[in-house]
Amino acid sequence: MGKNYVLAIDQGTTGTTVMMFDEQGTVAGRVYKSFKQHYPKPGWVEHDAAEIWQGCRELIDEILEQTAIDPKSIGAIGITNQRETVVLWDRATGQPVAPAIVWQCRRTAPMCDQMRADGLTSVFQEKTGLVLDAYFSGTKLKWLLDRDADLRARAERGELAFGTIDSWLIYNLTGGQVHVTDYSNASRTLLFNISSLKWDDELLEILDVPRAVLPEVRSSSEVYGHSVELGSLPAGIPVAGAAGDQQAALFGQACFSPGMVKATFGTGAFILMNTGDKLVRFDQGLLTTIAWGLDGKVQYALEGSVFVAGAAVQWLRDELQLIQSASETEELALSVPDCNGVYLVPAFVGLGAPYWDAYARGTVVGLTRGSNR
């Protein structure tokens, strides 16, 4: 009997990591690929969903070549993903019908302002645990359908599929046979009732989202479907797990009991606390969210979200070109005694918890004539 492996896809905001784990949980291989970020207008952030899927396919081939693992010994495929990013695609062709609108994108801030002015804050907070902010998927999907009457008509006829990145990857891995999401991702859409665990008719009506575009919501660990043949990946491998990246990190850090907390620093920074089967509400700017769904039950979490952490280092490297690589930041930081009174607030895409200010922007304070690189 050969070993069995799990193929894990971590589809992040700035790149994709594919890993292979053996039965002991030991990493048998790891590959990474970044992809292009698109900023068509100030405050807008987009991805090419087709590029993301193509990158995943290439990484799967690469890890199988790198590790020389027999693809037939892969027992399951699991997915974790950047959350809230909206993909809308044609069910017949499998092709995206618009650029993916990224969780960081602020284009729907005025829409959120209007809904707050209309007194809808408490409706969304009560049902979804979320604040009315451009961060979440629902207003992004509404924006796509509102701007194009043809897209809306096709959506209402059931010709289009909406999903977060987990749904998009599962759809492609299964050759278009499966359109699902898990509880953790569904809870980030502004469309899902985290108490009844169903898509909410009232919220769908407010945001004018046709039910026909929505994925089926399933638990975070079950067999959703099986792979089709994709390059060196054979057909028939169970696609058997999905969770939003921050909830997956909570689980991965073994925060299984209420009161346990994790902090993750990636593109953004996110603190989550497991609250067990209790749906804890906190009206001082934290989100109530589903941590995961297992065995027919869900566990909840409280979350504090910071939109830009590692992305600020990427900005220093790619836009300002003050550094050539992210690793230089440590050496530079250690080379000076302090910050000399200069502070950067990296509110490039607004502020998350606890302020939820979609219009805040990055600022540097404390510059003097002596400030240098």
Contact at 8 Å (CB) between 294 and 242?
no
Contact at 8 Å (CB) between 45 and 35?
no
pLDDT band at 2 (very low <50, low <70, confident <90, very high): low
Q: CA 309, CA 217: separation in Å to the nearest integer?
A: 30
Per-residue model confidence (pLDDT) at position 283: 75
Largest CA distance in the chain: 69
Two structure tokens written together for 284: 């001082």
Alpha carbon 359 to chain centroid distance? 21
Nearest to 110 by CA among 129, 92, 91, 134: 134
Q: CA 225, CA 221: separation in Å to the nearest integer?
A: 12
169-223: per-residue pLDDT in tens? 999 999 999 999 999 999 999 999 999 999 999 999 999 999 999 999 999 999 9
Per-residue model confidence (pLDDT) at position 359: 87
- The neighbour count for residue 198, using CB atoms within 10 Å, is 11
Distances (CA, A) of 68 to 9, 49, 337: 18, 29, 48
- The per-residue pLDDT of the chain, averaged, comes to 93
Per-residue model confidence (pLDDT) at position 263: 95
**Tokens 């209790």 — which residue?**
278
**Alpha-carbon torsion (139, 140, 141, 142), positive or negative:** positive
Per-residue model confidence (pLDDT) at position 372: 82
Two structure tokens written together for 113: 């302002």
Q: CA 291, CA 248: separation in Å to the nearest integer?
A: 8
Contact at 8 Å (CB) between 66 and 31?
yes
Top pLDDT among 8 and 285 is at 8
Q: Which segments of the chain are extended strands (E)?
A: 5-11, 15-21, 27-34, 46-47, 74-81, 87-90, 100-101, 160-163, 180-182, 192-193, 198-199, 216-218, 225-226, 238-244, 261-265, 269-276, 287-294, 297-306, 343-345, 363-365
Q: CA 88, CA 164: separation in Å to the nearest integer?
A: 9
Per-residue model confidence (pLDDT) at position 1: 42
Q: Looking at the predicted structure, is the pLDDT value of residue 275 above 60?
A: yes
Per-residue model confidence (pLDDT) at position 349: 84
- The neighbour count for residue 252, using CB atoms within 10 Å, is 13
Q: CA 140, CA 84: separation in Å to the nearest integer?
A: 9
Per-residue model confidence (pLDDT) at position 307: 87
Distances (CA, A) of 337 to 103, 194, 196, 326: 36, 48, 54, 20
Q: CA 340, CA 344: separation in Å to the nearest integer?
A: 12
pTM to 2 decimals?
A: 0.89
Q: CA 110, CA 28: separation in Å to the nearest integer?
A: 47
Q: CA 77, CA 302: separation in Å to the nearest integer?
A: 28
